[in-house]
């Protein structure tokens, strides 16, 4: 990968890692479901009038939007609102890889390899370490919501697998369109008009800027550059960069939002990322070992 393209991959890592900070800032002024609705309304309009629908059935695109976007991000936003720091949220969401593996085994009959099971065990040991340290910044409710968001992401990955050879930016725009209306209705019925009016009345330029970052930097720049890289390089070369996202998220939260950093967070992060590395790179290491033994 040329140096310029390496910098683009690192740009996505930074954008997505810092996205958790901007979500936390936005939630100080906007209720979580309303924030989720705003994100997908702005991500789809007016772009939907200029970007052609992806070459996939409407029902699949709608299912993608409702699961990958509406369900995942509503759980994420509610989790961070209920009590979850940006750093820990960026870490916990990465276990979507193992939820993807779990759902693929159930619905597609894909049997996981031994190194994937080992990686899952190590990562969930780190998740268990987080569960032992609930306090005012990390609550049980927030913890469960974030895991639910990770599970929705994993399920959404299976739906994405059904939508092959399409323009991924178009899928993001149209998926956001299908996610926006259910989220707006849920925000209206579950949070009430008072919450929506209060969010509007207390909105500052800080909140507006944070929403713009979530919509355009995270969605357009992040997904746009990421899909551009995936279209030019093997998945095995691009996907491991995603392991750096929680590192940026944790460091950014500590530096800019003064999130307390303890030794147990370092250990939890090490275990989760180590498990992810084994899951992503174990096959390559295992095949290399077999080839060396045969030689």
> What are the residue ranges spanned by the domains of the chain?
3-294
- Whether 143 and 128 have beta carbons less than 8 Å apart is answered as no
Cα 33 from Cα 183, distance rounded (Å): 6
Residue 140 CA, chain-centre distance (Å), reads: 20
Give the pLDDT score at 261: 86
Average pLDDT, the chain: 87
Give the pLDDT score at 236: 60
Residues in the chain with pLDDT values less than 70: 164, 231, 235-236, 283-295
CB burial of residue 113 (10 Å; 0-12, 13-18, 19+): middle
Cα 285 from Cα 171, distance rounded (Å): 34
Q: Burial code of 115-130, b = ≥16 C-beta within 10 A, e = fewer? A: bbeebbebbbebbebb
DSSP string spanning 48-110? GGTSPPPSS-HHHHHHHIIIIIIIHHHHHHHHHHHH--HHHHHHHGGGHHHHHHHHIIIII--
DSSP string spanning 102-165? HHIIIII--PPPHHHHHHHHHHHHHHHHHHT---SSS-HHHHHHHHHHHHHHHHHHHHHHHS-S
Residue 11 CA, chain-centre distance (Å), reads: 16
- Please compute, for residue 287, the number of CA atoms within 13 A of its CA located in the half-sphere on the CB side: 5
Give the pLDDT score at 244: 87
Give the DSSP letter of residue 259: -
Backbone phi, psi, residue 136, to 5°: -70, -20
Give the pLDDT score at 235: 60
Give the pLDDT score at 163: 79
Residues 6+ apart with CB under 8 A from 37: 180, 183, 184, 186, 187
Read off the pTM.
0.89
Q: Give 170-212 pLDDT, tens digit per residue.
A: 888 999 999 998 999 999 999 988 888 888 888 899 999 999 9
- Whether 30 and 211 have beta carbons less than 8 Å apart is answered as yes
Give the pLDDT score at 291: 47
- Cβ atoms within 10 A of the Cβ of 52, count? 10
């Amino acid at each position: 990968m040329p140096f310029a393209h390496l910098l683009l991959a690192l740009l996505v890592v930074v954008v997505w890692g810092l996205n958790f900070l901007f979500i936390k800032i936005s939630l100080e002024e906007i209720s979580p479901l309303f924030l989720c609705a705003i994100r997908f309304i702005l991500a789809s309009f007016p772009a939907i009038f200029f970007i052609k629908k992806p070459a996939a059935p409407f029902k699949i695109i709608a299912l993608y939007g409702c699961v990958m976007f509406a369900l995942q991000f509503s759980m994420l936003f509610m989790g961070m609102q209920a009590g979850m720091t940006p750093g820990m949220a960026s870490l916990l969401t990465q276990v979507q890889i193992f939820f993807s593996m779990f759902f693929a085994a159930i619905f597609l009959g894909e049997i996981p390899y031994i190194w994937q099971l080992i990686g899952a065990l190590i990562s969930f040991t780190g998740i268990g370490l987080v569960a032992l340290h609930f306090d005012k910044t990390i609550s049980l409710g927030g913890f469960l919501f974030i895991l639910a968001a990770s599970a929705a992401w994993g399920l959404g990955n299976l739906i994405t697998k059904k939508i092959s050879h399409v323009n991924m930016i178009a899928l993001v725009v149209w998926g956001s369109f299908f996610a926006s209306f259910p989220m707006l209705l849920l925000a209206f019925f579950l949070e009430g008009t008072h919450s929506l009016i209060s969010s509007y009345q207390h909105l500052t330029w800080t909140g507006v800027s944070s929403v713009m970052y979530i919509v355009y930097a995270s969605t357009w720049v992040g997904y746009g550059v990421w899909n551009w890289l995936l279209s030019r390089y093997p998945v095995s070369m691009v996907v491991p960069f995603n392991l750096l996202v929680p590192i940026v998220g944790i460091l950014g939260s500590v530096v800019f939002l003064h999130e307390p950093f303890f030794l147990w967070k370092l250990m939890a992060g090490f275990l989760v990322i180590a498990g992810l590395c084994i899951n992503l790179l174990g096959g390559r290491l295992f095949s290399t070992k077999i080839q060396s033994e045969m030689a």
